[in-house]
């Protein structure tokens, strides 16, 4: 058995783990990272990056095919699936290779294998070449999450895709069934629809995109209908049978049995934290009923010198949240004064068509927390830049506290809003007011002008949409 002695061991090299490792090394710590698969974790290899690459390709195909209104006419766009997948893989390879180079530059040791706590201060790593004992002073658990399987639909990546399988297609399905109306299922549903698949979405609940502002969701739901994507809410997927080249899926729609013939199933109903199999019981640590580990503001668990970040540390299960938690944990380990994960808001971005982006409180959430909220909205249909892009669906919404004007939340649905949300996040972190947003000169013509106009709209003073004087006048 080999042995390593380090100051910090990080279990998992996803967007939380590799960031924690690099920051700890920057602060002078001797760091070892254990990863059982590829550097970059789910996000870089089979999640955020490859899915957005594929979605970008689908969007480009769609724009080319619908450019006739601009006087640009193309007879047909040919999709070569093998070349598309190869292009996507090239992006992933560059990014994961970059992490390896950063590890080397920061003298971070990378050990490939499966980690398990043996005792406080020790983990065992089972790799291809045997077992290695790692003695550590501080440990960071950054093991991420995995897709949840629906009973009756085990992942075989042939008939039933997980999100991973959906990013490695060997063909474009004729008819794709998406189980789950959350953001992953809808992002991929839009993508395959643009590639030519017939797409049906089934969702057990009475709405898609649960947790998002209903007004934003309605814009996306309208887009789904417009593009011919069928969405069946209050519908449960029971199981399926293989009948030649078809998959006969058994459904229960509002209590009534139905069947649907498709040739591919994509199951996306959520993710489960990877907190099992780590030997946590050997150090006196136990996840809650959902598999999450309780942590404090510095991401410390109840066990001394053991931290948890990312998906195992609770909702929201987002890569950028994991990265910032990794920074906080590394700084806490290094003794940086004031180190903590304490954001005003964690932005959420959804790459549907149109896109959704949100940070902070909705109007309903603000009211439930005792605020007296006011709201301003500005439609992309009144944005000159959106018109030049040929993409005017959606709006910007700003929620603020009535008396002080402090911005409480920003919620966007429309073109490229995933790029606009950073300004809103900064506004929340800095305690910006409506006047701060509206008096900031925004370049013209650009999409961020919609945030400025939405802030003005709170007081009925948006210039580029008509608002009756009854809407009020800013004092």
pLDDT in tens, 344-364: 999 999 999 999 999 999 999
Query: What are the E-state strand segments in 190-345?
Result: 198-203, 230-233, 235-243, 246-253, 256-262, 264-267, 271-273, 306-308
Question: Is 444 part of the annotated catalytic residue set?
Answer: yes
pLDDT in tens, 116-145: 999 999 999 999 989 999 999 999 999 999
| Residue 155, domain member (yes or no) | no
Do residue 109 and residue 35 come from a single domain?
Answer: yes
Task: Report the percentage of the chain scoring pLDDT > 70.
Answer: 99
| Residue 339, domain member (yes or no) | no
CATH code of the domain containing 245: 3.50.50.60
Do 302 and 294 form a contact (C-beta atoms < 8 A)? Answer: yes
Do residue 402 and residue 296 come from a single domain?
Answer: no
CA dihedral 460, 463, 469, 475 (to 10 degrees): 50
**pLDDT score of 472:** 47
Do residue 36 and residue 125 come from a single domain?
Answer: yes
| Residue 342, domain member (yes or no) | no
**pLDDT score of 469:** 62
Contacts of 179 by beta carbon, 8 Å cutoff, 6+ apart: 150, 153, 185, 202, 237, 265, 266, 267, 268, 269
| Residue 106, domain member (yes or no) | yes
- What value does the mean pLDDT of the chain take? 96
pLDDT in tens, 450-471: 999 999 999 999 999 999 864 4
CA distance 426 to 150: 39
Do residue 164 and residue 222 come from a single domain?
Answer: yes
Do residue 244 and residue 384 come from a single domain?
Answer: no
pLDDT classification of 386: cutoffs 50, 70, 90:
very high
| Residue 343, domain member (yes or no) | no
Asked whether the CA dihedral 186, 192, 196, 201 is positive or negative, the reply is negative
pLDDT in tens, 305-317: 999 999 999 999 9
| Residue 154, domain member (yes or no) | no
Catalytic-labelled residue, pool 110, 305, 442, 444: 444
pLDDT of residue 323 exceeding 70: yes
Residue 422 tokens read as 């950073």
**pLDDT score of 23:** 98
CB atoms within 10 A of CB 128: 6
CATH code of the domain containing 455: 3.30.390.30
Do residue 11 and residue 109 come from a single domain?
Answer: yes
Do residue 403 and residue 415 come from a single domain?
Answer: yes
Do residue 279 and residue 378 come from a single domain?
Answer: no
Do residue 178 and residue 244 come from a single domain?
Answer: yes
**pLDDT score of 473:** 52
Number of domains, the chain: 3
Domain that holds residue 451: 348-471
Do residue 82 and residue 207 come from a single domain?
Answer: no
Domain boundary among 269, 285, 307: 269
Do residue 12 and residue 141 come from a single domain?
Answer: yes
| Residue 370, domain member (yes or no) | yes
| Residue 341, domain member (yes or no) | no
Do residue 324 and residue 219 come from a single domain?
Answer: no
């Amino acid at each position: 058995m080999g042995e390593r002695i380090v100051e910090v061991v990080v279990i998992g090299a996803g967007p939380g783990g590799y960031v924690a490792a690099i920051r700890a090394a920057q602060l002078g710590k001797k760091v070892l990272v254990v990863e059982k698969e590829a550097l970059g974790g789910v996000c870089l290899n089979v999640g955020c990056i490859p899915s957005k690459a594929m979605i970008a390709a689908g969007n480009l195909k769609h724009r080319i095919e619908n450019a006739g209104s601009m006087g640009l006419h193309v007879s047909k766009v040919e999709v070569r699936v093998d070349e598309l997948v190869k292009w996507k893989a090239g992006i992933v390879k560059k990014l994961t290779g970059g992490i390896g180079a950063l590890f080397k530059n920061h003298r971070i040791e990378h050990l490939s294998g499966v980690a398990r706590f043996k005792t406080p201060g020790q983990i065992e790593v089972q790799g291809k070449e045997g077992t290695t004992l790692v003695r550590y002073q501080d440990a960071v658990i950054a093991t991420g999450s995995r897709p949840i399987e629906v009973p009756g639909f085990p992942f075989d990546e042939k008939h039933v895709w997980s999100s991973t399988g959906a990013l490695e297609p060997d063909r474009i399905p004729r008819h794709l069934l998406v189980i789950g109306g959350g953001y992953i299922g809808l992002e991929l549903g839009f993508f395959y629809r643009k590639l030519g698949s017939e797409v049906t979405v089934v969702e057990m609940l009475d709405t898609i995109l649960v947790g998002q502002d209903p007004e934003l969701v309605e814009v996306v739901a309208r887009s789904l209908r417009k593009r011919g994507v069928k969405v069946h809410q209050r519908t449960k997927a029971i199981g399926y049978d293989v009948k030649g080249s078809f998959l006969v899926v058994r459904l229960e729609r509002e209590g009534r049995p139905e069947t649907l013939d498709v040739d591919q199933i994509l199951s996306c109903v959520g993710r489960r934290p990877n907190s099992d199999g780590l030997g946590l019981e050997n150090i006196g640590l136990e996840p809650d009923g959902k598999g999450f580990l309780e942590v404090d503001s510095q991401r410390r668990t109840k066990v001394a010198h053991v931290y948890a970040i990312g998906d195992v540390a609770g909702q929201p299960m987002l890569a950028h949240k994991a990265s910032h938690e990794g920074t906080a944990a590394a700084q806490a380990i290094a003794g940086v004064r004031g180190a903590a994960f304490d954001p005003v808001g964690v932005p959420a971005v959804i790459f549907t068509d149109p896109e959704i982006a949100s940070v902070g409180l909705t109007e309903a959430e603000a009211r439930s927390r005792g605020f007296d909220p006011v709201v301003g909205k500005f439609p992309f249909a009144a944005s000159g830049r959106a018109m030049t892009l040929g993409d005017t669906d959606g709006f910007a919404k700003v929620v603020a506290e009535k008396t002080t004007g402090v911005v409480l939340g920003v919620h966007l649905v429309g073109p490229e809003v995933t790029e606009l949300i950073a300004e809103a996040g900064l506004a929340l972190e800095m305690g910006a007011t409506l006047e701060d947003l509206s008096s900031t000169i925004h370049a013209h013509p650009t999409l961020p002008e919609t945030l400025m106009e939405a802030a003005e709209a709170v007081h009925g003073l948006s210039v580029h949409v008509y608002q009756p004087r009854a809407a009020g006048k800013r004092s």
